[in-house]
């Protein structure tokens, strides 16, 4: 009963009596705090139950609150035991809350409440209630004004009322009015019967449609089963083509990998050639620079020698001899000039 009432009140956790076979003060304190906040959301009871003094203070505060607010007397010793005896004390509070819910109209809290310690405030319903209250207040004022006017006419109407009461009742008029009322009631009954007959016809039509749909569903399921059991004619060819496609894909993948590998090797080879070419060009520039410097030094030394020694008229063979000597001294220059 306790688990069902807590579920009906909207407690977010599942509770069974197995939880109370042994003392479980944490669960009892949680349930007590939830019930107190369910009864009054703005209440301020400290939830600390770590030490013995905190637990005693918590139990006393809950018991005092229930005694003053809800007029429910709780046994603090049984609550502190936190076992099956504590469940009996908790049932006192849950039964009151369930009775309040039933008298209010059977409203139940949603099982997926984000904060179980606060009521949900429906603003739309409150606005509708406010409009209804204003309308009722205006109606009450208008009815009160009309009632005041009628009470003012009571002195004049009292004599007419006593005369009409004292006047003997005419049976013909009463019979006529009764017959009219009976005919009106019979017409309403006939209308209700017609509506019931129409409802029966509609129900029969709906049942016929439902049966027809069921038959169609059964036929469709049988047709689906037959289609699933039958093997298509093109399935063998499809499987062969799929195997060939798998082989072709493997060949394509192998060729693609080989091509990418060869392209990588070619790029590496080109890079090495470019590096070798750049190194050769650099060495050639250095050699040319050195040769130019040596030629410039030779020319300077030759000019100095010419200024000191007289040059004979036949300069051709001597110049050739000097060129040969220079070439003998600098064989590297000759190879570079040939290149």
Tens digit of pLDDT for each residue in 191-219?
988 888 888 888 888 999 999 999 999 99
Q: What is the mean pLDDT of residues 310-329?
A: 45
Band the pLDDT of 56: cuts 50, 70, 90. confident
Task: Output the CA torsion 137→143→144→147 (10° steps).
Answer: -170
Q: Is residue 20 included in any domain, yes or no?
A: yes
pLDDT for the residue 125: 58
Q: Give a yes or no: residue 242 inside a domain.
A: no
pLDDT at 122 over 80: no
What's the CA gap between 315 and 320, in Å, rounded?
Answer: 9
Residue 325 resides in a domain = no
Among the candidates 208, 237, 266, a domain finishes at: 237
Q: Dihedrals φ, ψ of 264, to 5°?
A: -65, -40
- Does residue 24 belong to any structural domain of this protein? yes
97/5 Cα distance (integer angstroms): 9
User: In the numeric block, which tokens belong to residue 172?
Assistant: 């013909």
Residue 48 domain boundaries: 2-102
Per-residue model confidence (pLDDT) at position 264:
94
Q: Is residue 185 part of a domain?
A: yes
pLDDT for 321 beyond 80: no
Confidence of residue 334 (pLDDT cuts 50, 70, 90): very low
Q: How far apart are CA 222 and CA 184, in angstroms?
A: 57
What's the total number of domains in the chain? Answer: 2
Q: What is the CATH number of the domain that holds 16?
A: 1.10.418
Q: What is the pTM of this model?
A: 0.32
The answer to whether residues 32 and 2 touch, using CB atoms and an 8 Å cutoff, is: no
Q: Is residue 165 part of a domain?
A: no
pLDDT at 323 over 70: no
Listed range (64-78, 163-177, 227-241, 271-285) with the worst mean pLDDT:
163-177
For the beta carbon of residue 30, count every other beta carbon within 10 angstroms: 15
Distance CA 58, CA 25 (A): 11
Q: Are residues 89 and 179 in the same domain?
A: no
């Amino acid at each position: 009963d306790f688990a069902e009432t807590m579920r009906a009140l909207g407690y977010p956790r599942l509770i069974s009596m197995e939880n109370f076979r042994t003392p479980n003060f944490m669960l009892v304190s949680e349930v007590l705090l939830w019930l107190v906040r369910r009864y009054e959301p703005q209440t301020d009871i400290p939830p600390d139950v770590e030490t013995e003094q905190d637990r005693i203070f918590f139990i006393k505060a809950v018991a005092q609150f229930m005694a003053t607010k809800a007029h429910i007397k709780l046994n603090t010793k049984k609550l502190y035991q936190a076992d099956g005896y504590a469940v009996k004390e908790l049932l006192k509070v849950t039964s009151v809350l369930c009775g309040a819910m039933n008298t209010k109209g059977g409203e139940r809290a949603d099982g997926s409440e984000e904060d179980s310690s606060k009521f949900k405030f429906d603003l739309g319903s409150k606005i509708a209630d406010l409009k209804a209250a204003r309308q009722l207040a205006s109606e009450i004022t208008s009815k009160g004004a009309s009632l005041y006017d009628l009470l003012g006419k009571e002195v004049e109407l009292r004599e007419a009322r006593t005369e009409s009461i004292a006047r003997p009742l005419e049976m013909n008029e009463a019979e006529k009015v009764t017959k009219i009322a009976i005919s009106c009631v019979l017409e309403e009954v006939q209308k209700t019967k017609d509506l019931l007959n129409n409802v029966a016809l509609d129900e029969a039509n709906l049942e016929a449609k439902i049966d027809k749909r069921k038959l169609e569903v059964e036929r469709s399921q049988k047709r689906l089963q037959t289609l699933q059991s039958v093997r298509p004619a093109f399935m063998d060819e499809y499987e062969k083509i799929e195997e060939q496609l798998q082989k072709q894909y493997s060949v394509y993948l192998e060729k693609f990998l080989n091509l990418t590998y060869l392209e990588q090797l070619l790029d590496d080879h080109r890079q090495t050639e470019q590096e070798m070419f750049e190194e050769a060009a650099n060495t050639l520039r250095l050699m040319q620079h050195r040769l130019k410097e040596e030629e410039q030094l030779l020319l300077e030394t030759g000019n100095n020698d010419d200024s000191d020694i007289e040059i004979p008229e036949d300069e051709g063979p001597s110049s050739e001899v000097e060129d040969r000597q220079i070439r003998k001294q600098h064989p590297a220059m000759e190879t570079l000039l040939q290149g």
